[in-house]
Structure 1
Amino acid sequence: MHPLIRRTRTRRAASAAVAAAALLVTAACSSDSGGDGGGSGTDADTLVAYTGQAGDYQANFNPYSPTTIEGPGTIFEPLFYFNQARDQEPVPRLGTEFSWNDTGTELSITVREGVQWSDGEPFTAHDVVFTLEMITEHPAMNGTGYSGTAEAIDDTHLVVRFDEPAYMDGPQVLGRIWIVPEHIWGEMSDPATDTVQEPVGTGPFVLDEFKPAAFTLAANPDYWDGEPELKKVRFVALSGNQAGADALKAGTVDWQTGPVPDIHNVEKNYPGYRAITVPLNQIALLSCSSAELGCTGPQTDPAVRQAIYYAMDREQINSLAFENTASEISPGFALPGRDSAVISQNLENPTAPMTADAARSARLLEDAGWTKGGDGIYEKDGERLSLTVSVVTGWTDYITAVDVIGQQLKAAGIEIIPQQTSWNEWSDSRGMGNYQLLIDSLYQGPAPDPFYLYSYFFSTATTAEVGESANPNFARFSDPEVDAALEALKQTDPQDTAARQEHFDLIQTRIEQNMPYIPVLTGGTTSEYHAEKFSGWPTTDDLYAFPAVWARPDHSQIFINLKPAGE
């Protein structure tokens, strides 16, 4: 029976599995931060983590907020934990069992008994129902497009009903919705926007201390699976990639995800540390693409987006910005390798060209009415083809990528003006649509299936007009044909590969034609970790979690597996 519809039974959370990267954190695989944090985890059971937060932290632990700094997985748990990088059974967290009815319209869930919120109140199935109803009532919180109706049968059982077969909603409901306490969140005036500064959850960690330059989580002594052996996690802010590399050299950071000089020789250059690289998230130039939804600028022209796509020399970008750790990307955004079987044969390019096609780029622009001005930059109706691209201060590999892309596009008659901003400003602009282009990566879903990425980033249900918060379809892409294909995929048994493929074909070809997210490369996400201080890290042979410090709830699965050296 397919893993999405089989019934699962209780196992310790320390067994293998992983879930999608956190809904609200798409920080680049190179994320870095500004600020004057830092500091060393001198205690043997404290892990110092560098996530890439740019600038001082602003206390917000609302797991449904685009500007949350922490919470999913560590403080607020999902029902189950799904492995997005490996095809493995989901690991029980707050849930213990689930099953579908024969028609795929009812999902029955059993939740764990004896679990307490960190304030001592009991957790029940009613909290799950409350959470599902809350995100239904507040569309900005509903990043998974959930559309079911939940009913608690008793304190440990609930049923989620759908109007149509909804097999693909299973991992969304089970693995990508963070369960919150009804007795607290029911009193919030607007849970979609309220900041949470004193979070109460069921997770393996609780908030211990907050300061703008660093904050600390402490092991939850009453965690249902036992207090973690990792006693504290301290998240610090640094000034950029170089500061991260310096911290690794000094041994003052235990885990970071991002580039370091000579990344292929980490064990030699940083004694006691190891590195792991996993290709998963797709790097793209996000465009505010829809004039109908309020976007303005040349990037609203599909021909401009296509011209940028063909003008890029991806081999050069990979070499100069990513130390050749990135790999090919499909313009249909199925993942090469993992999703090769479903990459559409109808695509013009199954994978994006690795070298520039200047003639194709020019032809696209000129056919759309753009002509070259005296300065070599195309123009149309008095408007120069000049675009700003937003990048977070300190993300040096992404900054380098933007600089390299800018040089390549200038030769093609397109001007790119980089704008470095703090992560907070960048994230706000991304959510509200106040940008032309920005560099980011698209994350995967709770299970290894491209449906989830499509449902997040290409569904009308997950976008909004400019000035309103989109979550996470930041490009403002809206296509009724894609929406219909997504709905059909939700209702199709995952084992019926032939029936699914026609919908994948439509989605991928429409994406390639419209290109609201301009494909760059599949990012090789590299983490450096302190192997001498802690054991239990994921490896290529045992990839039980996606090993990125900013990936949520993946990082929480790693935290509960780590042990201080010698234990």
Structure 2
Amino acid sequence: MAMLCRTRASGLRASAVLVAAALVIAACGSSDDDGSGDADATLVAYTGQSSDYQINFNPYSSSIGGIGTIFEPLFYFNILRAAEPEPRLATNYSWNTDGTQLSITLRENVAWSDGQKFTARDVLFTLDLLTRHKEMNGAGFDGHATAPDETHVVVTFDRPSFVRGPQVLGRIYIVPEHKWKDIDNPATDTLSSPVGTGPYTLAEFKPQAFTYAANPNYWGGAPAVKKVRFLALSGNQSGEQALRARQVDWQSAPVPDVKNIEKNYPGYKALITPLNQMVLATCSNPALGCAGPQTDPAVRQAIYHGLHRTQTNTLAFEGTSSEISPGFGLLARDNAVISSRLRNRVAPMQPDTARARQLLEDAGYRRNGDGVYAKGGSQLSLTVKTVAGWADYITALSTMAQQLKQVGIKLTVEQLSWNEWTSQRQSGRFQLIMDSLNQGPAPDPYYLYSYFFGTQGTAKVGGKASTNWSRFSDPQVDRALAALTTLDPKNTAARQGHLDTVQTRVEESMAYIPVLTQGTVTEYHAAKFTGWPTGDAPYAMPAVWQSPDNAEVMKRLKPVGS
């Protein structure tokens, strides 16, 4: 399942934010003293939660926590770099020659947090839940599993399914049969007393904060960080104030003058991680009901060439974002597979206003007295939608509106509530939307392509598109994705031609107009804890809201001096 992977500034008035932050922090205690006598081992984290927590630790229906920390996958896949997956509840796996059978060896001597033994029955039970409850099946599991004994599982597929491996192994979170077999609707029921195999258990829950405690019986040994407290504040401005007051140890959100964080926030450091790719998503496909100037590829190409990406990066993102490829291979990580057939390997950081205008004129547009292009009596006027309070995106879009005015395109920014924005994005009730495309379960661009460019992920306008919001549909891309699904990712030579097809067709269409690669900013209390990911050793995505990566970080941290 694709999701937005970004926490943005709240836009609340500063006075209200500071009052709310002070009240919550006073109630929850500081990162230096939680009143329990073991404050030095307590990690205080803020994910951007701007309302009270609602208790639910069902890993298939809640996003507040529990994935990786309480409920574990079989393996951990690092999406930042090509590396062998790390064993978690399983220790080994292998495919048969044609990719139709996945054999998994489970870890022995693992116990659930209530003391019950973990076995292959729990894995079979979890996979069966996904088969019977489609709404739980975000990993797209479509295999048949058997267990020859308590420590082995065999998953059989109807067709070659190498690319299903990271989803099955790394994005399915195993639940205990003895606890879940009596849950009426596991896809939606609330779980308030979770039992897992992970490094943490739920110690306390309040609407303003919840606390994990280190699992003393964890198979990997109890973590050095004995408690982790997640706060609910009023938004990113209150998070920044809490950081400045040393009340938060870990958050991922913009802060002013982030490049001087060690001066402005003594004891803290920041890590900027390029990962998700920011785009102007367009409702692009008239055959699926899209209407408006953005359905014309010439308009989309003109916008692409009219953007001043360097200026946008400076004004909206403090220079923390970076270049983006129009074929949506992730620069650096995917260098080896970025197509040599692309017109531009990297989207231009400077505008080419003359080229943008020429593209429009070649398509029959003519400038009117106001300097705006028109065709068939209609001005080239477009509305782009974002969420009220997303200050960096609002600044970016206001900047882009001024840039495109020079091209002859009128861009109007409309701010919506989160619920309205999400509904309109999924239903196709928009012309342009600014969003980010997230990566999949493994460091392979195939997953992004299948989410956002496969016809199976979209729907007619008015219907719900699961991931492909731009309504992109191209038979050549669908055939290439189908072929990639059957190939072993290690067979790079056989895959490259299909990756070339996807990237060049995507660049030609511009259904998603590339803006920049988002630099996810994470601030962390280096004077209090050691073991954080670094740019040289990115053992996990450091964002506090990224699961199961955040569990990997928690396990590796140690209080200073311990």
Normalised by the length of structure 2, the TM-score is 0.87
8 Å contact from structure 1 (residues 29, 526) kept in 2: no
Structure with more helix by fraction: 2
Query: How far off is 1:474 after superposition?
Result: 3.6
User: 2:47 is aligned with what amino acid?
Assistant: T
| Aligned pairs, number | 544
Deviation string, structure 1 residues 507-559 (Cα, Å, up to 9, x no partner): 10111122232211112222110011111111223221121112211111001
C-alpha spacing 1:478/1:197, structure 2 compared with 1 (3 Å): farther
CA distance in 2, matches of 1:375, 1:70: 52
Q: 2:307 aligns with which of 304, 312, 316?
A: 312
Q: What letter is aligned with 1:236? A: L
After superposition, where does 1:24-173 map in structure 2 within 5 Å? 25-28=3-6, 30=8, 36=20, 38-39=24-25, 40-41=30-31, 42=33, 43-65=39-61, 68-118=63-113, 121-173=116-168
**How far apart are 1:280 and its partner, in Å?**
2.1
Judge conservation of contact 1:110–1:158 (CA < 8 Å) in 2: yes
Measure the CA separation in 2 of the matches of 1:232 and 1:449: 34
Query: SS in structure 2 opposite 1:44?
Result: helix
Contact 1:74-1:205 within 8 A present in 2 as well: yes
1: CA distance between counterparts of 2:510 and 2:258?
A: 32
Tell me if the contact between 2:337 and 2:496 (Cα under 8 Å) persists in the aligned partners: yes
Over the residues paired in the alignment, what is the CA RMSD in angstroms?
3.0
Larger deviation, residues 148-157 vs 95-104: 148-157
Alignment partner, residue 176 of structure 1? 171
Q: 1:26 offset after TM fit, Å?
A: 2.7
Q: Secondary structure at the match of 1:559?
A: helix
The residue number in structure 1 matching 2:36 is none
Q: Which runs of 5+ in 1 are unaligned?
A: 1-22
**Identity of paired residues, percent?**
60
Question: Do the aligned partners of residues 32 and 234 (structure 1) sit closer, same or farther apart at CA in structure 2, a change above 3 Å counting?
Answer: farther
- Residues 220-274 of structure 1 show CA distances to partners (whole Å, capped at 9, x for unaligned) of 3443323322233222344444433322211111111232222222112111111
Is the 1:431–1:470 Cα contact (8 Å) retained in structure 2?
yes
Find the counterpart in structure 2 of residue 561 from structure 1: 556
Q: Are 1:32 and 1:238, in contact at CA under 8 Å, matched by a contact in 2? A: no
Q: Check conservation: 2:386, 2:416, Cα contact below 8 A.
A: yes
CA distance in 2, matches of 1:130, 1:297: 48
Equivalent residues of 1:144, 1:172 under 8 A apart? yes
Q: Is the 8 A contact 1:239 1:394 kept in 2?
A: no
In structure 2, distance between residues paired with 1:212 and 1:545? 28
Q: Which residue among 345, 348, 363 is the counterpart of 1:353?
A: 348
User: 2: distance between equivalents of 1:73 and 1:517?
Assistant: 32
**Structure possessing the higher relative contact order (Cα contacts under 8 Å, 6 or more residues apart):** 1
Offset of residue 313 of structure 1: 0.6
Aligned pair 1:508/2:513, yes or no? Answer: no
Which sections of structure 2, spanning at least 5 residues, go unmatched?
Answer: 34-38
Residue in structure 1 matched with residue 485 of structure 2 by the alignment? 490
Tell me, yes or no, if the aligned pair for 1:334 and 1:450 is still in contact at 8 Å. yes
Aligned 8 A contact 2:9 2:237 in 1: no
Q: Equivalent residue for 2:210?
A: 215
Bigger Rg over Cα: 2
Indicate which of 525, 531, 534 corresponds to 1:536.
531
Deviations 1:33-70 (A, max 9, x none): 867455233322222222223444454544344x7233
Deviation, 1:314, is: 0.4
Task: Report the counterpart of residue 14 of structure 1 in structure 2.
Answer: none
How far apart are residue 129 of structure 1 and its match? 3.0
Give the conservation status (yes or no) of the 8 Å contact 1:25–1:552.
Answer: no
Which residue of the partner structure matches residue 254 of structure 2?
259
Partner of 2:513: 518
Contact kept, 8 Å, 1:432 with 1:469, in 2: the verdict is yes
CA deviation digits over 1:102-161, x for unaligned, max 9?
222211012223434445554332333343344345555444444332223333211112
Tell me which moved more, 487-496 or 120-129.
Answer: 120-129
